[in-house]
Structure 1
Amino acid sequence: MTWHEWLDLLQFWGPVIIVVGSAVAAAGHALLTRETPASAFGWIGVSLLFPPVGPLLYYAFGVNRVRIRARRLDRASRHGLGAHRPGPTAELRDYRGFIKARRRGLAAAGDRLSAWPVVAGNQVDVLNNGEKAYPPMLDAIDEAHGFVYLTTYIFETNRIGKRFIDALARATARGVDVRVLIDGVGEWYALPGKRPVALLAAAGVRTARFLPPRLWPPALRLNLRNHRKILVTDNGIAFTGGMNIGDRHMAQEKGGVADMHFRLAGPIVRQIEAVFLSDWAFATGEQSRVSGRHLPSLGAAGCRSIENGPTRDFETLSTLLLTAVSSAHRRVTIVTPYFLPGQALVGALQSAALRGLDVSIVMPGRNNLPFVAWAARHGLDELLSCGARVYFQPPPFAHSKLFIIDDDYALVGSPNIDPRSLRLNFELAVEIYDSTTVETLLAHVDGLIGQAHEYTQAQLAARSFPARLRDSFFWLFSPYF
């Protein structure tokens, strides 16, 4: 064959080989990496039957680039996004002194899901809304002499935000080691006001952004957000929960948001401090040791920090929630603004309801993200049909996050029950093993339910066709919310 004939063959068969090869490669990748047979089979079919569009669609939507990118960032940094790496061979601790027998299996699972043990002797104070939470947080900053560490997803620069900036500036002027870590996407929520990093820097406060997006070199990173809320000081006090910094959490004001925060004192504070320092090291490259100050026992609560993020091989929070539901004997109570559970958690809640447990899910009746509420409503039939009860709270919008088992276990903190919190964000939750604290939370939830509207299976079925179509459409995109 002449050189021109070889060139003609190459021009014809080259694109064919590339198209077929890409289809086979995409199908093989889906076969090896997809988590369910249905997902793998679907993407294999799309890739093989519709080349070259199928492989392009698989690359765009089927590859979990969030986890890949998170692990690459974690490897590139000298500091990981967690203090330690738990796993199935982690040591199981002896908690017989302060955890009830029926809950020790859950505590054992936590030993292998979390970097930390359950520590006894903690005091937990429940703080409802900004009216109750912000004053003690500002007091803790003003009383600090050694360090103040603050992480928040949103830092508004309105009236409340300026009070925090002033308090942080005063602490800096006293010689306190003040560090503020703000999420690189969350800081844009301050608009149309001034962005907080510039104001904090002008006040002399050391501030860092967590994975800020940039146009060049391209790094949009709309996922991989640091959704944690942490304030910890050298006085042995830490705050965490669902609240950001800003006027929006003043629930008694017009347009306010109802939420819940927690003041923690005791040995648990050291774990929360370590979480902050790990994130700070990742964002800045500055490594610091956890303070060596002894933190005495101040209460009766057993507590443990639970870190969650896409750098892990398993979904820590999802697995812990499943284990907790399986350990329940009387009731499972969930309060969340966004309820888009995975199928495994839905199955666990169905099983609990069928066992005769009181399974109650409390959500806001008016959501700040309507499309999330529409998607959530589509999936309620699976739970309502098994006897679970769903309640919608009246305004104001409720941003609180509680996960309660029976009357002696609660998981609180920043995570929502949705794919973004459980798979895409970096979150911090705190386990609470304490009947007194949990009874306080249950009394609060019972008060919410007393004012809420119970949503029934009949009401779900009575939706108009356009409403059902809308809910189903947005449900299709729920893994990406």
Structure 2
Amino acid sequence: MLQAIASHWSTLILALSLAMAAVGIVHAIMTKEDVRAATGWVGVMLLSPFLGAIIYAIAGINRIRRATISALRPVAGEAAEARHDRHVAMEALIDAHYGQHFIGLKTLGDRVARRPLTPGNTIAVLATGDEAYAAMCRAIDDAQKSVLLETYIFDNDAVGQMFVQSLSGAAKRGVTVRVLIDAVGVRYSVPSILKQLKEADITADLFNGNIVMGLR
């Protein structure tokens, strides 16, 4: 058998690479929501079946999405019963307030969004940035345990100073404050707001500051 493998090793490697590419191509077509991404990965695996399949296995599979799907799989025991009870109660609530035809809409939304509809939620529509910033600062001012702020742009302007004041006040009250700013967005203002945040004893850091060997 070893002699047969040794004499046909090139054919076996070719068959293995084609099989790996076929599996990767099917996976990309079935899971990629962006047509351009699927087409690109298919092209990579067609041009280089063996190496392309390995690259796709490392960089092309969305493991966060896979973990989410795994987390949404049916559970057993008491947790499954509790989830079923909430589902039945939610359908009864929808039927009582909006009618039977809305239950089908809920089922569709649950399957598309992959998150079940739950009661007790409200949405406040804020029409302008001024309204949104004021509401955010009020939430920071009312925080009792922690404040986690993540933003792309954090300008060193009047609005930025308003946030620094609220974040600083929260930190002085003993609230755990963490701020994450994009490394590009923080440079929309010169000087940047980062120094003022750190001077106010606010724990702040940059996202994606150093990409490769110090290059930004």
Give the match for residue 23 of structure 2.
28
Q: CA, structure 1 residues 151+192, in 2 after alignment: closer, same or farther (shift >3 Å)?
A: closer
Higher strand proportion (structure 1 or 2): 1
Counterpart residue type for residue 102 of structure 2? R
More helix by share: 2
1:119 aligns with 2:110: no
Q: What is the Cα deviation at residue 140 of structure 1?
A: 3.4
Structure 1 counterpart SS, 2:149: strand
Q: Which amino acid aligns with 1:114?
A: R
1:141 to 2:136 alignment? no
How far apart, CA to CA, are the structure 2 residues paired with 1:198 and 1:56?
46
Q: 1:207 to 1:118 in 2, by over 3 A?
A: farther
Q: 1:191 to 1:152 in 2, by over 3 A?
A: same
Q: What's the counterpart of residue 62 of structure 2?
A: 67
Q: CA deviation at 1:179?
A: 2.9
- Percent identity between matched residues is 18
Q: Which has the larger radius of gyration?
A: 2
Alpha-carbon distance in 2 for matches of 1:61, 1:32: 10
The code of the aligned residue for 2:118 comes to P
Deviation at 1:27, TM superposition (A): 1.6
Alpha carbons 2:155, 2:188 under 8 Å: kept: no
Corresponding residue of 1:156: 154
Equivalent pair of 1:26/1:58 in contact (CA under 8 Å): yes
Q: Using the alignment, how far apart are the partners of 1:17 and 1:128 within structure 2?
A: 63
Alpha carbons of structure 1 residues 172 and 32: separation in structure 2 relative to 1, 3 Å: closer
Which residue in 1 is equivalent to 2:200? 203
Q: Which amino acid aligns with 2:20?
A: A
Preserved contact between residue 181 and residue 210 of structure 1 (Cα < 8 Å)? no
Aligned length: 185
- Mapped partners of 2:171, 2:13: distance in 1: 60
Instruction: Write the distance in 2 (CA, Å) between the matches of 1:195 and 1:173.
Output: 22
Change (3 A) 1:145 1:189: closer
The answer on 1:189 being equivalent to 2:188 is no
Are residues 87 and 22 of structure 1, via their aligned partners in 2, closer, same or farther at CA, if it must alter by over 3 Å?
closer
- Give unpaired runs (5+ residues) of structure 1: 1-5, 75-80, 217-481
The residue number in structure 2 matching 1:103 is 102
Partner-residue secondary structure (3-state), 1:104: helix
Residues 25/85 of structure 1: CA separation in 2 closer, same or farther (3 Å cut): closer
Q: 1:213 to 1:17 in 2, by over 3 A?
A: farther
What letter matches 2:132 in structure 1? A
Report if aligned partners of 2:183, 2:209 keep a CA contact under 8 Å in 1.
no
The structure-2 alpha-carbon separation of the partners of 1:24 and 1:182, relative to structure 1 and needing over 3 Å to count, comes to same
Specify whether residues 97 and 146 from structure 1 end up closer, same or farther in structure 2 by C-alpha distance, changes over 3 A only: farther
User: Unaligned regions of 5+ residues in structure 2, if any?
Assistant: 75-79
Q: How does 1:11-90 map to 2 (within 5 A)?
A: 17-31=12-26, 34-35=29-30, 43=42, 47=46, 50=47, 53-57=48-52, 59-60=54-55, 65-68=60-63, 70=64, 85-87=71-73, 90=83
Contact 2:171-2:177 at 8 Å conserved across structures: no
SS at match of 2:126: strand
Native 8 Å contact 1:141 1:171 kept in 2: yes
TM normalised by structure 2 equals 0.58
RMSD across aligned C-alpha pairs, in angstroms? 4.5
Q: 1:132 to 1:204 in 2, by over 3 A?
A: same
Task: State the Cα distance separating 1:149 from its structure 2 match.
Answer: 2.5
TM-score (norm 1): 0.31
Distance in 2 (CA, whole Å) between partners of 1:67 and 1:30 is 15
**Counterparts in 2 of 1:215 and 1:14: CA distance versus 1, 3 Å:** farther
